[in-house]
Structure 1
Amino acid sequence: MARLQGLGRLALDALLPPRCVACGEVALTHGTACGSCFASLTPLVEPLCRRCGAPFLHDGQAAALDEQGGSWCLRCTEAPPIYERARALYLYDEGSKRLLLPFKHGDRTELAAPLARQMARAGRDLLARAECLVPVPLHRSRLLHRRYNQAALLAGQLSRVSGIPWAANLLRRTRRTPSLGPLGAAGRAEALRGAFAVMPGAHHRLRQRHILLVDDVLTSGATVSACTAVLLEAGVRSVDVLAVARVADPRQAADA
């Protein structure tokens, strides 16, 4: 059977040559990036903050160590996030934008599967204790405009890869929120106040469970923190966060 499957893949590659998921140029296999696009990606690996997953350029950027010897960034040392841990596959830069912007805004929904497979490797420690995958929700008006929630597509594909159940409708966004980019920490928190809620009747599905929040890009962490607060109020035991990419802490870059 394995030999037949291998022959089938060879036949498919001959009829439809593999194309890069980012630029469309010829790639080695289906669902992967070409050499040039792959080289432009910045995987997030150690050293990084044990809590929020922010990358360090060197070990000396750690502001503190926890009881297990894990490094914490300055932001988490000053004000630890209410979620347990966050991880991302790539740094959000020009390389990862070549994947994420078409996926998010260009109807390239087929990118969810290869991205989820790579997220599963980057977030294997988080998946090991997750009992349910929950995507960060879109407001219905934005969902009607875009026609899909990219976080939900990722969560569904992660469920297929990991075997962990996912729930598309446990969380809802109760109102549209403004762009958070120009806002400071206090402004982001205020803009997101009351913006999320647990669906009526769903509380019993959440009590004492380990939830993994799934999103495409982690920026300041304000959105996932607002979602986490609602989930914890509903009785969830803990919340971790897994994203495709995350923005680097500007203070870490300034320090470097």
Structure 2
Amino acid sequence: MLAQLQTAVGLIYPPACLCCGGAVDAHAGLCGPCWGDTVFVGGVICDSCGIPLPGGDTGEVAHCDSCLAHPPPWVRGRSALLYAKMGRKMVLALKHGDRQEVAKPAAVWMARSLGGKLPADTLIAPVPLHWQRLVKRRYNQSGLLGRALALETGLDWCPDLLQRVRKTASLEGKTRHERFEILENAICAHPKRQHLMQGRPVLIVDDVMTSGATLFAAARACIDAGAGQIRVVTLARAAKDT
């Protein structure tokens, strides 16, 4: 019965590419050309922020100059895609285009980027939106990614572990220093949820990392609330900090 239902749905709504809408073999997939334009993060990367690094041996623990100069408050950071070409298109489709179906395959890619190196008691927490922005957008794209990642990994998650207590200006076009200033004290632990992370490792999920200012604020909020080691993962990573 289930197989027949799936076949009927497939006939009515044939699988389409997540990016261009072209025909694909299965739902939540990419066509050949779009797959070719999707740059997955690989090779030598910074262990802290996930940005690709030149040279070196794959598998070595390396750090970029930025993370060496300003170590982040988390122990490891990873991203699945570069924020370019189709990676950028998918992030924007998820964030502003109501393409919520992007979250499921994104979670598969994000889980692969983590390499299974997570404690079994890790709690997944999405970067929060301010309530006014959430009302306008109707959903938190980081929450969709967090939920899908929890289903993919079997880890626990808490959609409102963190709160954005202050509405912040857009970070687009801002310098690294300005981004960190804007996000200072903008995120805190939910007072009714912070007991869930006492001494417990937390994986913070967001759609894209640029300077890391938003993830830094979220990580500090978890640490201040008594969490254990913090890790971060995003769907995409901007090639350069700005």
TM-score normalised according to structure 1 size: 0.86
Match of 1:36 in 2: 33
Deviates more, 1:30-39 or 1:196-205: 196-205
Match among 183, 188, 202 for residue 197 of structure 1: 188
Match of 1:249 in 2: 240
Task: Note if 1:91 corresponds to 2:82.
Answer: yes
Counterparts in 2 of 1:69 and 1:153: CA distance versus 1, 3 Å: closer
Counterparts in 2 of 1:214 and 1:250: CA distance versus 1, 3 Å: closer
Match among 49, 55, 58 for residue 58 of structure 1: 55
**1:41 is aligned with what amino acid?**
T
| Partner Cα separation in structure 2 for residue 83 and residue 208 of structure 1 | 14
Task: Note if 1:138 corresponds to 2:129.
Answer: yes
Task: Note if 1:106 corresponds to 2:103.
Answer: no
3-state SS of 1:86 partner = strand
- Would the aligned equivalents of 2:15 and 2:23 in 1 still touch at CA under 8 Å? yes
What displacement does 1:187 show?
2.1
Match among 87, 91, 113 for residue 122 of structure 1: 113
Counterparts in 2 of 1:250 and 1:103: CA distance versus 1, 3 Å: closer
| Partner Cα separation in structure 1 for residue 8 and residue 55 of structure 2 | 46
Match of 1:171 in 2: 162
Please give the root-mean-square deviation of Cα atoms over the aligned residues, in Å: 2.4
3-state SS of 1:243 partner = strand
What displacement does 1:15 show?
5.5
| Partner Cα separation in structure 2 for residue 196 and residue 104 of structure 1 | 20
What displacement does 1:9 show?
6.0
Q: Could you give the per-residue CA deviations for residues 123-165 of structure 1, whole angstroms, max 9, x where no partner exists?
A: 2334455611000000001001100000001111111111111
Match of 1:230 in 2: 221
**2:210 is aligned with what amino acid?**
T
Task: Note if 1:76 corresponds to 2:67.
Answer: yes
Task: Note if 1:27 corresponds to 2:24.
Answer: yes
3-state SS of 1:191 partner = helix
| Partner Cα separation in structure 2 for residue 227 and residue 130 of structure 1 | 19
| Partner Cα separation in structure 1 for residue 177 and residue 12 of structure 2 | 55
The structure with the larger Rg is 1
- Would the aligned equivalents of 1:49 and 1:55 in 2 still touch at CA under 8 Å? yes
- Residue-pair matches, total: 242
**2:21 is aligned with what amino acid?**
G
- In the alignment, structure 2 segments of 5+ residues that lack a partner are none
Q: After the TM superposition, which residues 209-228 of structure 1 pair with which residues of structure 2 at under 5 Å, given as runs?
A: 209-228=200-219
Q: Could you give the per-residue CA deviations for residues 56-99 of structure 1, whole angstroms, max 9, x where no partner exists?
A: 24329x9xxxxx95111111112211111110100001221221
What displacement does 1:185 show?
3.1
Match of 2:14 in 1: 17
3-state SS of 2:156 partner = coil
- Would the aligned equivalents of 2:210 and 2:241 in 1 still touch at CA under 8 Å? no
Match of 1:45 in 2: 42
Deviates more, 1:133-142 or 1:116-125: 116-125
**2:42 is aligned with what amino acid?**
V
